Amino acid sequence: MPSLFCLPFMAPVFCLLLAFFMIASGNAQGPPSPGYSPSSRISSVTFNQGFRNLWGPQHQRVDQGSLTIWLDKTSGSGFKSLEPYQSGYFGAAMKLQPGYTAGVITSLYLSNNEDHPGNHDEIDIEFLGTTPDKPYTLQTNVYIRGSGDGNLIGREIKFHLWFDPTQDYHNYAILWTPSEIIFLVDDVPIRRYTRKSDATFPTRPMWVYGSIWDASSWATENGRYKADYSYQPFVGRYTNFKISGCTANSPASCRPPSASPSGSGSLSRQQVSAMNWVQRKYLVYDYCHDPKRDHTQTPEC
C-alpha cells in the first residue's frame, strides 16, 4: 500500500506510518453499508403513543415525545409497551451516560416475565456500564421458557461498538419474526438467531420494555466493579421509538416487517457481509464458544 502514495523524497518510516494511519482511519469509519434500512420503512411514535411508565415514575421524564430515565441510590426506572406482540420490529434511538457507569444496565428488551413468572421468554439489548477507560459492552441475549426456575439459560453474545454511544443517539432494534431474531445497530445486523426448533425459540407474545437499574452483582466484568453513587444520577435517553408488528390479538395472516429488501425475511448478501464485519471486529463474547458452558443446554450451538 505505501507505494500508492509514497513519493521519492519521503522516508520509508514516514511512509509506513502514513499507511498505518490510512488503514486505521478506514477501519474507524464503521461497517460496510448493509444496503437496506428496515427502520426507514417504519414510522416513529412518541413515548406516550407506544408506552407507559412501569416503575420509578419520579425518575422518568417525557419531553416532546422523547424519554429520559435515571438511576440514583433511591431508585431506577422502567417502562412498558401498551400492547403485547407476537412478532415485529422494536427499536429506539438511545444515548448513554458517559464516565463511570459500572454496575448500571440501560436496556431495551422484549419479555413476558409478568405473564409467565419463572418460565418466561426474553430478547434483550442491554448496555453494560463500564469504567471510563473501557468501552461500553452491548449484550444481546435470548431466553426461552427457563428463566427463574433455577436453571437460567442465557444465550449471550456481547459486542463493543465502532462508535462512542455516549456522544450521540444511535438506533438499536430487535426484529423478531416467526423464523429468526435479528439485532440491529443503526440498521446494521449484528446478530441473527434462527429458529432451529420450537424448544430453542420464543413463540409466546411479549411486551416491549426499557429500563435503567443497578446490576452491580454481574454487569461490569462479572461484578468486579460496582455502581458508585458518587457519580449519580445515571441517565438513559430514548427517542425515535419505532414499533411495527403483530400484536397478540392480530389475525394469523399478520406478517411482521421484513429485515431485507427482498421481503422474504432472510438477510441479503450485503447485510450478511456487514454483519460478518461487525462480528469479526467487535464481537467479544459468544456463549456457543464458551468452554465453561454446558452446551447440552444450548443445542442450537
The grid cell for 220 is 461490569
- Classify each residue of 262-293 as buried b or exposed e, where b means 16 or more C-beta atoms within 10 Å of its C-beta: eeebbbbeebeebbebbbeebeeeebeeeeeb
CA-closest candidate to residue 136, choices 165, 172, 167: 165
Please, which residues bridge with residue 140 across strands?
125, 157
CB atoms within 10 A of CB 152: 10
Q: How far apart are CA 31 and CA 188, in angstroms?
A: 8
Residues belonging to the active site: 122, 126
First to last CA, the chain: 40
Distance from CA of residue 266 to its chain's centroid? 19
* Helix (H), strand (E) at residue 210: strand 207-214
Q: Residue 199: helix, strand or coil by DSSP?
A: helix
